[in-house]
């Protein structure tokens, strides 16, 4: 009998030098370096370089890469005008998908698929995704769009454009760490989607628009927003255990827990939990943090034996909330970070490209003949 790998679980379709995950032991490395070390010591700019080049940059290489990102932050004026006119009630991921596609119309290299062109476009997209997302957020609130500043880091500049004022160094660093934690994660659904599109030798903008669509769903990037909806629904910490038990009794899924690969703690959630706890201890424990603590305990008690533990989305929302980021922007921020992983994975796969074309076991009817419309029941 033919075995079907439902959800492509365990299917190996390519090799990669970028990211290693051991889901049983809760290990995640980029270029062999543990994610905790990246979070502690590195920046989003450095990890983006490392993913795109599959090596750590020298100081000069990093400075050049950073300068290129800073020089490419501005959006075409026509796109800024379009973003300002987007309907305010659409989900920001719809707006981002549209803006990313529109951005490609202004890139003279958009149709080029050489490795050099894919790399040049990647730098522009990593820089401009940040500006697009901040612009979408400001326009949605009816506020004037803030132009990027070249004197700020990638993380600080995003918060500046979003809020209209410079973040503190601590806020910028916390956001930078969140970007580092989300920058790449192997063959997740959106990266796989980007690669599937690139495997047809399609262009970078088409790859990224496909990936945004895949990230949007609540089983993937959309889960961080769904976690905040859940926290708002729970309301107060004393109601959390009853809420979760009720959901599990009804066989409903709890957002922000469970993972296709991790059957133990997602190491990224541990880093974020430490920061969420640090912020909570500094400011007095927020309702959100206390609700999360109870949910984590209840979930592990009830279904930890099935390998269900908090994933990266579980604590990211509270960290973003503390930074003043509205919850409907949590998933666009995921895209702001994951764009580096998407671009790097597409470039890596394309070097030894083979069209992705899986198959299905046919279970439909056989030996039928066409029935004229007038003779059908
Ligand atoms: N809540 C309750 N039970 C769960 C959950 C959950 N979140 N996740 C899995 N389970 C249970 C399933 O019901 C199943 O139980 P059973 O064996 O008794 O039928 C068992 O655990 C295995 O679950 P699967 O659905 O087979 O796991 P799969 O690998 O297909 O799903 C997924 C992984 C989609 C992430 C799932 O855990 C889920 O829906 N989580 C909530 C959404 C979420 O947080 N997504 C973000 C993932 S991380 C990221 O993309 C950044």
pLDDT digits (tens, 9 = 90+) for 118-150: 999 999 999 999 999 999 999 999 999 999 999
247 lines ligand 1 (CB under 6 A): no
CA nearest 145: which of 161, 157, 156, 166? 161
Residue 309 near residue 266 (C-beta atoms within 8 A) = yes
Mean pLDDT of the residues in the chain = 95
The pick from 252, 256, 258 for probing ligand 1's pocket by mutation, whose C-beta has the most ligand atoms within 8 angstroms, reads 258
- CA distance between the termini of the chain: 35
pLDDT of residue 279 exceeding 80:
no
Give tens-digit pLDDT for 145-186: 999 999 999 999 999 999 999 999 999 999 999 999 999 999
331 lines ligand 1 (CB under 6 A): no
Give me the pLDDT at residue 284, please: 64
Retrieve residue 183's tokens: 């920058």
Q: Match 């009817």 to its residue by tokens.
A: 365
- What are the structural domains, with CATH classification, of the chain? 19-218+327-350 (1.10.580.10), 223-322 (1.10.230.10)
Give the position, in ligand 1's atom list, of the atom nearest the Cα of 220: 50
Instruction: Give the residue, by CA position, lying nearest to ligand 1 atom 22.
Output: 306
Give me the pLDDT at residue 1, please: 57
Q: How far is the CA of 219 from the centre of ligand 1 (A)?
A: 8
Q: How far is the CA of 37 from the centre of ligand 1 (A)?
A: 28
Instruction: Give the residue, by CA position, lying nearest to ligand 1 atom 20.
Output: 306
Give tens-digit pLDDT for 60-89: 999 999 999 999 999 999 999 999 999 999
pLDDT of residue 283 exceeding 80:
no
**ipTM exceeding 0.95?**
yes
Retrieve residue 184's tokens: 């790449």
Q: What is the DSSP letter of 21?
A: E
pLDDT of residue 362 exceeding 70:
yes
302 lines ligand 1 (CB under 6 A): no
Instruction: For residue 27, list its beta bridge partners.
Output: 22
Give the position, in ligand 1's atom list, of the atom nearest the Cα of 256: 44
Give percent above pLDDT 90 in the chain: 90
Model confidence pTM above 0.90: yes
- How would residue 285 be classed by pLDDT, with cut points 50, 70 and 90? low
173 lines ligand 1 (CB under 6 A): no
Residue 245 near residue 294 (C-beta atoms within 8 A) = no
CA nearest 43: which of 178, 215, 145, 225? 178
Retrieve residue 112's tokens: 């080029």
Give me the pLDDT at residue 322, please: 85
Give tens-digit pLDDT for 194-232: 999 999 999 999 999 999 999 999 999 988 889 999 999
CA nearest 16: which of 183, 186, 196? 186
Report helix, strand or coil for 29. Answer: strand
């Amino acid at each position: 009998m033919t075995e079907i790998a439902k959800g492509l679980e365990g299917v190996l379709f390519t090799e990669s030098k970028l990211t290693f995950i051991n889901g049983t032991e809760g290990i995640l490395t980029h270029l062999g370096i543990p994610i905790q070390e990246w979070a502690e010591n590195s920046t989003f700019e450095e990890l983006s370089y490392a993913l795109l080049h599959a090596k750590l940059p020298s100081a000069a290489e990093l400075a050049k890469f950073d300068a290129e990102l800073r020089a490419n932050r501005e959006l075409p004026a026509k796109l800024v005008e379009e973003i300002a006119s987007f309907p305010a009630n659409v989900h920001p991921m719809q707006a981002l998908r549209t803006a990313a596609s529109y951005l490609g119309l202004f890139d003279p290299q958009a149709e080029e698929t050489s490795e050099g062109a894919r790399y040049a476009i990647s730098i522009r997209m990593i820089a401009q995704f940040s500006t697009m997302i901040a612009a979408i957020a400001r326009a949605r609130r009816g506020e004037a769009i803030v132009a990027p500043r070249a004197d700020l880091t990638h993380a600080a500049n995003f918060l500046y454009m979003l809020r209209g004022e410079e973040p503190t160094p601590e806020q910028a660093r916390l956001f930078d760490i969140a970007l580092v934690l989300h920058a790449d994660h192997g063959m997740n659904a959106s990266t796989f989607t980007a690669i599937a599109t690139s495997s047809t030798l399609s262009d970078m903008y088409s790859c990224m628009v496909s990936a945004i669509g895949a990230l949007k769903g609540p089983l993937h990037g959309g889960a961080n927003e769904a976690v905040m909806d859940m926290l708002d629904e729970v309301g107060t910490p004393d109601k959390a255990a009853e809420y979760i038990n009720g959901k599990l009794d009804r066989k409903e899924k709890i957002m922000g827990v469970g993972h296709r690969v991790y059957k133990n703690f997602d190491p990224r959630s541990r880093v974020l939990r430490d920061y969420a706890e640090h912020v909570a201890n500094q400011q007095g424990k927020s309702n959100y943090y206390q609700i999360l603590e109870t949910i984590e305990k209840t979930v592990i008690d009830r279904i930890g034996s099935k390998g269900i533990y908090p994933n990266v989305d579980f604590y990211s929302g509270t960290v973003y909330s503390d930074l003043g980021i509205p919850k409907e922007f949590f998933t666009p921020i995921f895209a702001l970070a994951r764009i580096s992983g998407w671009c790097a994975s597409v470039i890596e796969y394309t070097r030894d490209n083979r069209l992705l074309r899986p198959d299905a076991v046919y279970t439909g009817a056989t030996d039928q003949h066409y029935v004229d419309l007038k003779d059908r029941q």
